[in-house]
Structure formats: C-alpha cells, structure tokens
C-alpha cells in the first residue's frame, strides 16, 4: 500500500510549453539539414515530453522508443539499468536525439548513451526535461535540459510514482502526509 501524499505544483504546464519552444529552436539549429532525425524516447517517463517535442520540431523525424528501468515502483534508483524494450530500427549512420524525462543519478542516461553510441550513429545528442544535478553519481549531463530541479521526488507530465500521476499536465513535487 502506498503512503498518502499530496502533490505541490513545481513547474506549470505553461512554463513547460514555453521551454519546449526554446529547446526546439536549439535542436533545429543543431540538426538543420538532416535527412531524418531519429528521436529516441526513453519509456515510459518521456512519452509526453517526446510528443510535444516532435510536434514542435521543424525537421523530418522518425520516432522510436527504448525502455530502460532502474527504479521499478520505488523512489530510489537500484543503479542497475535493465533494457526492457529495445529500438525497432537501426541508427547506424543516422542523426539521433535521445529524449529522457529526468536525469537523476545518471545511471540510466549513461547506460543508454553507451549502448546507442556502440551502434554507430552519425551524430547523437541528448535532451532531458528535468535535471537533478545534486543527485548525480555518474559524470553525465544531457546536451539540453528543460529545467534544473532540487532533490525532490516529482511526478506529472509523464513521470510517475508507482505508475500513478503520469497524466498531470504539470510537474509536481510529492509530499508525504504521514
């Protein structure tokens, strides 16, 4: 049984939308002239972020997904990254943008970047909606970050707590009430 909690709004839906517009201008500038950008979303937390990104990008895109997990239903990373679903298509010689919901310890992003880099993309960049640099255990940083946040457990905009609250339109901080 889950502990009772409330959610305090941390980042508004309006702020997220404005930041995505800014990020897409930078991504467009980086990948201008590409014949196709393969946008790789890390499931499940990035699915709303990736949908909003690709709608805003003025580039030819292909979307693929990779599911990696280091959390399960808990609030702490196990530090063991498991690939639960791999890409459907090849990325060798292609331009790739890896989309992550949140960079916390860095284990997941580091593992995924290493895995995808071994497949020989032409160019690969990464973007994370959220970054918690105070939690970093591996020296890695996304090429683009939406928002830097404090060390709080967050939900919303695709990010869950035990498979709940992904559907919130904002990013909220979980506060336990017991």
- The residues carrying an active-site annotation are 104
Distance between alpha carbon 11 and the CA centroid of its chain, in Å? 16
Q: What angle do CA 137, 141, 143 make, to 5 degrees?
A: 170
Tell me the C-alpha distance between 2 and 37, whole Å. Answer: 40
Whether 106 and 136 have beta carbons less than 8 Å apart is answered as yes
């Amino acid at each position: 049984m889950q502990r009772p909690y409330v959610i305090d709004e941390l980042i508004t839906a309006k702020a997220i939308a404005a930041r995505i517009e800014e990020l897409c201008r930078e991504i467009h500038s980086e990948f201008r002239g590409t014949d196709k950008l393969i946008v790789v979303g890390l499931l499940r937390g990035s699915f709303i972020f990736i949908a909003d990104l690709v709608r805003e990008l003025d580039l030819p895109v292909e979307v693929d997904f990779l599911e990696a997990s280091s959390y399960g239903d808990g609030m702490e990373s196990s530090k063991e990254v498991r690939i639960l679903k791999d890409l459907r298509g090849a990325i060798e010689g292609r331009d790739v943008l890896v989309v992550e919901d949140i960079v916390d310890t860095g284990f997941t992003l580091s593992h995924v970047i290493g895995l995808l880099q071994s497949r020989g993309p032409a160019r690969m960049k990464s973007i994370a909606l959220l970054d918690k640099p105070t939690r970093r255990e591996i020296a890695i940083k996304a090429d683009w970050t939406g928002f830097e946040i404090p060390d709080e457990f967050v939900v919303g905009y695709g990010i869950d707590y035990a498979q709940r609250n992904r559907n919130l339109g904002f990013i909220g901080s979980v506060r336990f009430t017991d």
